Amino acid sequence: MAHFRHFIGGTFTQGTSGRTFPKYRPSDGALIGHVHEGGRAEIDLAVQAARAAQKGPWAGLTVDDRSDLMRAVADGITRRFDDFVAAEMADTGQPRSMMEHAFIPRGAANFRIFADVVKNVATESFQTPTPDGRGALNYAIRKPKGVIGVICPWNAPLLLMTWKVAPALACGNSVIVKPSEETPGTATLLGEVMNDAGVPAGVYNVVHGFGPDSAGGYLTQHPGVDAITFTGETRTGTAIMQAAAHGLRDVSFELGGKNSAIVFADADLDVTLEALGRSVFLNCGQVCLGTERVLVERPLFEALVAGLKERAEALKPGATLGPLISAEHREKVLSYYAKAVAEGARVVTGGGVPTMPDELSGGHWVQPTIWTGLADEASVWNEEIFGPCCHIRPFDSEEEAIAVANATDYGLSAAIFTQDLSRAHRVAAEVDVGITWVNSWFLRDLRTPFGGTGHSGIGREGGVHSLEFYTELRNICVKL
């Protein structure tokens, strides 16, 4: 039975409260470990360790030194690849292939790319005229913000945690990570890798727990935390922003989405179905960038519905489709399945719970589901579900498609499918989201800005854009 301990100041500790909570495996519901719950005392200790490290040995390193350590951490993840795969599979229940080919390699890649980005950042300099004619040199430098609170989601734990931790550390900050209570494994394991790589004690810290009146709440309220970055639900982001406002601290949020795909009648149907099959059902629909609203130009509507139905029914829960993260989340998703029918949807496929073999019967399984026939006012059309499901709706004009796609409080991502390049550029410019793919989905370049508009987030991450959040830009003027 595993015990997931805090990692504070380079040392694993059970903390002071003695409280633990159970960790269950999503695929079969089995108890696989106990997680030590942190509170105010553990956050105080973590802030002290993080501050001492950031002001001490970490601040004394050059950019090249930190870059080398980031690569050493990436190498450590690669060396312990099988351990990270096993930990993430136990935490999330998702298929081994997804861990081996996507989530764990990307965790290592995040450290490698920011090891390079931090060494290639330019700042401004100006020659400024002065009354005596001798002039002055005005230039800018970037300095680390200090101690960063990192609150992580459960849907891709290592990938999304390192997406924040890697640039924060590369910039010279220290971090306190609060993993999701659902997925404690890889954040804990990364502490061992940090020690093995030679990262100074206190630079990377982990405190497990929940939100209010637990580790997460105390982390967001602590005056010793200089900035907070969070990925998760919009409602939680609002609460964190309120807590951060008391200390006038910066926040960076990647929040929810209700993402649309717009499929025009001239789209390549095979290309479209391949992309939609992933964007709707990948990770059992638990992807912030996933598609829950599919808008199809009317001449292609029936063919696309039939094609996506075929792809959904080819998925095999327990083999090519993993479970939802928890029993609570499954109840939420199933409540939307029931609500869709009550709101007048036609169930094209799915809509319930699959029959599973005995050894997986205790897992959090749902059927991949497709609906048609909902009104635009339906809650299922407007609220994020975060499950393997979508509603497909016809449209008759480009203007209608854009208006419907933009009729949401969210604005994270969109996908456009057409062979008309001019139309692709035109529609992409009008859809009010942070990321738009054309004839594809989830083709990422880690140097480009990542983030959403509206209720989908605050700020941008990726490449130099991450450095803008994790550093303070300072102006220095030297009289010549």
Dump the DSSP string for 43-103: HHHHHHHHHHHHHTTTTTS-HHHHHHHHHHHHHHHHHTHHHHHHHHHHHH---HHHIIIII
Specify whether the CB–CB gap between 363 and 356 falls below 8 A.
Answer: yes
Tell me the sheet residues that pair with 149.
Answer: 176, 228
Best CA proximity match to 146, nearest among 469, 449, 475, 451: 469
Specify whether the CB–CB gap between 38 and 207 falls below 8 A.
Answer: yes
Buried b (16+ CB within 10 A) or exposed e, 292-320: bbbbbbeebbeebbebbbebbeebebbee
Specify whether the CB–CB gap between 261 and 294 falls below 8 A.
Answer: yes
What sign does the dihedral 125-67-192-26 (CA atoms) show? positive
DSSP assignment letter at 176: E
Annotated catalytic, 288? yes
Tokens 């997925």 sit at which residue?
Answer: 183
For the record, the structure tokens of 369 come out as: 């589901």
Annotated catalytic, 297? no
Helix (H, G, I), strand (E, B), or coil: what is residue 34? strand
Tell me the sheet residues that pair with 389.
Answer: 369
At residue 413, φ and ψ (nearest 5 deg) are: -150, 165
Angle at 222 between CA 221 and CA 224, to 5 degrees: 145
**Of 254, 297, 461, 468, which residue is the catalytic one?**
254
Best CA proximity match to 470, nearest among 172, 231, 207: 172
Dump the DSSP string for 412-461: SEEEEE-S-HHHHHHHHHHS-SSEEEES-S----TTS-B--SGGGEES-B
Q: Give the sheet arrangement for strand 147-151, strand by strand.
A: 11-13, 6-8, 204-206, 174-178, 147-151, 227-231, 250-254, 457-458
Strands (E), 107-257: 125-128, 136-144, 147-151, 174-178, 204-206, 227-231, 250-254
Angle at 93 between CA 92 and CA 96, to 5 degrees: 105
**Of 152, 171, 284, 288, which residue is the catalytic one?**
288
Strands 250-254 and 227-231: parallel
- CA atoms within a 13 Å half-sphere pointing along the CA-CB vector of 48: 7
Residues identified as active-site: 254, 288
